[in-house]
Amino acid sequence: MHPMVKSAILPGWGESAKNSVVRARIFRLTETMLWIGYVGVNMFSNHAETQYQSFAAIHAGIDPQGKDHSYWVDIGNYPDINAYNDEHLRFRETENLYALNGEWNWNWDSDENRN
């Protein structure tokens, strides 16, 4: 098997086959660090998302289930659902309104917690 194919399967394998031990270690170490970094950033991102959703549930009185990213942006930009809907009505953006049925309601307990 060609060393390039070996390296594509497992970084550093092709270099090991050509007796380039130092290069093989560098490739393996680099690949390992990239994967650890990717997993670490992904885990941190998921944790941060859970944190801000829990914070909003406590301080804005929302149910975080089934909400998309734009909803989370909107609750950060407006003190309550009425302020959001009022502004969108002024701009004639009726397709962007949230229903006042309780599922989408929010009302921050303070501006400090919203910001």
What pLDDT digit, counting tens, does each position of 43-91 carry? Answer: 999 999 999 999 999 999 999 999 999 999 999 999 999 999 999 999 9
Task: Determine which helix (DSSP H) or strand (DSSP E) holds 66, and give its type and residue range.
Answer: none
- pLDDT value at residue 23: 86
pTM of the model: 0.73
Same-domain check for residues 35 and 65: no
CA dihedral 37, 38, 41, 46 (to 10 degrees): -150
Q: Give the count of domains, the chain.
A: 2
Residue 61's closest CA among 5, 93, 108?
A: 108
Residue given tokens 């302020």 in the structure block? 83
Same-domain check for residues 51 and 79: no
Same-domain check for residues 19 and 66: no
| Structural domain boundaries enclosing 99 | 61-115
How far is it, in rounded angstroms, from Cα 62 to Cα 86? 19
Radius of gyration of the CA atoms of the chain, in A: 25
